[in-house]
């Protein structure tokens, strides 16, 4: 990354970031190893997480070490294939794809290296898809003069001729579409959804393709996605729901609020503060620097500040026509819980929340997340109700998961 890219705080305080990594580990600001490698759902992910945690001593170590472990998994996959064990090889291809994606995270300019990392990631993911326990297709959703990259996951027991309900899923700033569906035992697939895991405007490979984030682009993405779903006979365009993680909570809430055919929206790790001051001006400067690249403004912080001043869900949420469900940390440092309650009050449709007591944006740093309901299961079940005709109606309910795992009514400020 060039010296001129990224935020001013990033360029001035890089040494502080490296000090934090040395003292607290690479996950000092996010549990990125867990959410990057957890979808592998195999003992290899625990080994990779442990090795990377112990060996990364500065941010500059993340890419080369992730790349080294990606190559190691690819070598193991080739060895298994030579022995005739393609399914076992698939575990390593999937892990390699996640590691190539992880290696791309701290590269906040579209360089030849970044393009190559995404090429390797896609190639590895396709090698896994060829032997996956469910059907996986690489897809492109036409958008403007280009296309949003996606993976379409279909349940293993999907029957030919029966259109499936569709869950459109997006990540936040740090990850990509490859880590949105677990290799095995995925909660969304188990609920009967076809999952369109997509890189929306500015996310991961979409930014590499020159499709950048803006409120306007995310608003336009909803219609583009629904139009694409309508081209598929195996997908039910009248039963479409959405989910987003972290900054994807803002992106997918905005998209759902302006796309009338969405039947339900459930998001986690809230990022609703108008103007996003906490995450971009008070939190670790890497957040802002990466988002500047997502906006195509990695060399123009002033223009970026003008852009994010328009990140204001209050302007769209009043148009929401589907039920909305927000899950997150009760002590989220990147978006105060008061913005969850403020936005749900403005929402004209049933709007509920489930916050985990004492949890920050990482959500798994409180016993509430371990002892209470798992957020993916909660989202999957709630969204399944939105596409089931005889399911209970959504309600306006605000709940808190205590540190002991008990679910109690939340104390909502006036």
pLDDT tens digits, 271-302: 999 999 999 999 999 999 999 999 999 999 99
pLDDT at position 78? 98
pLDDT at position 351? 98
Q: Per the structure block, which two tokens stand in for 324? A: 């909305």
In whole angstroms, what separates CA 197 from the centre of its chain? 9
The CA-based dihedral angle spanning residues 130, 244, 105, 125, taken in that order and rounded to the nearest 10 degrees = 0
What's 282's DSSP letter?
Answer: I
What 3 state SS string does 73-124 have?
HHHHHHHHHHCCCHHHHHHHHHHHHHHHHHHHCCCCCCCHHHHHHHHHHHHH
The CA-based dihedral angle spanning residues 235, 240, 245, 250, taken in that order and rounded to the nearest 10 degrees = 140
Q: How confident is the model at residue 160 (pLDDT cuts 50, 70, 90)?
A: confident
Q: How confident is the model at residue 5 (pLDDT cuts 50, 70, 90)?
A: confident
pTM: 0.96
pLDDT at position 158? 87
Q: How confident is the model at residue 3 (pLDDT cuts 50, 70, 90)?
A: low
Average pLDDT, the chain: 95
**Widest CA span of the chain, in angstroms?**
64
Does 414 score more than 80 pLDDT? no
Q: How confident is the model at residue 4 (pLDDT cuts 50, 70, 90)?
A: low
343 Cβ contact list (under 8 Å, min separation 6):
253, 272, 313, 314, 317, 326, 351
Q: How confident is the model at residue 161 (pLDDT cuts 50, 70, 90)?
A: confident
Does 71 score more than 80 pLDDT? yes
Question: What does the alpha-carbon distance between residue 62 and residue 102 come to, in Å, rounded to a whole number?
Answer: 8
Question: What does the alpha-carbon distance between residue 140 and residue 225 come to, in Å, rounded to a whole number?
Answer: 10
Q: How confident is the model at residue 310 (pLDDT cuts 50, 70, 90)?
A: very high
pLDDT at position 192? 97
DSSP strand pairing (324-329 vs 262-268): parallel
pLDDT digits (tens, 9 = 90+) for 337-353: 999 999 999 999 999 99
Token pair 């990125």 in the structure block, residue: 32
58 Cβ contact list (under 8 Å, min separation 6):
18, 21, 22
pLDDT at position 56? 95
């Amino acid at each position: 990354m060039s010296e001129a890219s990224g935020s001013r705080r990033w360029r001035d305080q890089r040494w502080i970031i490296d000090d934090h990594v040395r003292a607290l580990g690479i996950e000092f600001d996010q549990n990125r190893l867990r959410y990057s490698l957890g979808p592998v759902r195999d003992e290899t992910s625990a080994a990779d997480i442990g090795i990377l945690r112990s060996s990364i001593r500065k941010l500059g170590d993340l890419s080369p070490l992730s790349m080294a472990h990606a190559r190691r998994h690819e070598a193991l996959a080739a060895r298994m294939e030579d022995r005739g064990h393609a399914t076992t090889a698939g575990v390593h291809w999937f892990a390699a794809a996640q590691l190539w994606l992880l290696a791309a995270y701290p590269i906040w300019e579209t360089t030849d290296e970044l393009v190559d990392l995404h090429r390797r990631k896609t190639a590895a993911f396709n090698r896994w898809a060829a032997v996956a326990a469910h059907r996986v297709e690489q897809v492109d959703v036409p958008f403007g003069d280009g296309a949003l990259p996606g993976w379409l996951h279909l349940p293993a027991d999907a029957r030919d001729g029966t259109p499936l309900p569709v869950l459109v899923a997006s990540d936040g700033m740090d990850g990509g579409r490859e880590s949105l569906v677990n290799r095995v035992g995925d909660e969304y697939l188990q609920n009967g959804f076809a999952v369109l895991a997509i890189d929306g405007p500015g996310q991961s490979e979409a930014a590499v393709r020159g499709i950048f984030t803006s409120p306007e682009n995310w608003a336009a993405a909803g219609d583009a996605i629904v139009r694409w779903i309508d081209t598929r006979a195996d997908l039910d365009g009248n039963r479409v729901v959405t989910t987003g993680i972290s900054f994807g909570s803002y992106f997918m809430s905005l998209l759902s609020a302006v796309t009338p055919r969405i039947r339900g929206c459930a998001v986690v790790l809230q990022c609703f503060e108008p103007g996003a001051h906490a995450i971009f001006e008070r939190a670790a400067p890497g957040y802002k620097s990466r988002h500047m690249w997502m906006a195509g403004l990695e060399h123009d912080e002033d223009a970026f500040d003008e852009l994010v001043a328009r990140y204001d869900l209050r302007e769209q949420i009043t148009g929401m026509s589907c039920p909305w469900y927000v899950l997150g940390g009760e002590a989220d440092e990147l978006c105060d819980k008061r913005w969850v309650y403020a936005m749900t009050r403005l929402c004209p449709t049933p709007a509920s929340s489930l916050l985990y007591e004492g949890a920050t944006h990482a959500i798994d740093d409180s016993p509430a997340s371990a002892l209470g309901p798992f957020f993916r299961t909660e989202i999957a079940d709630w969204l399944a109700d939105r596409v089931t005709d005889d399911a209970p109606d959504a309600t306006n309910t605000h709940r808190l998961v205590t540190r002991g795992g008990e679910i109690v009514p939340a104390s909502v400020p006036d």
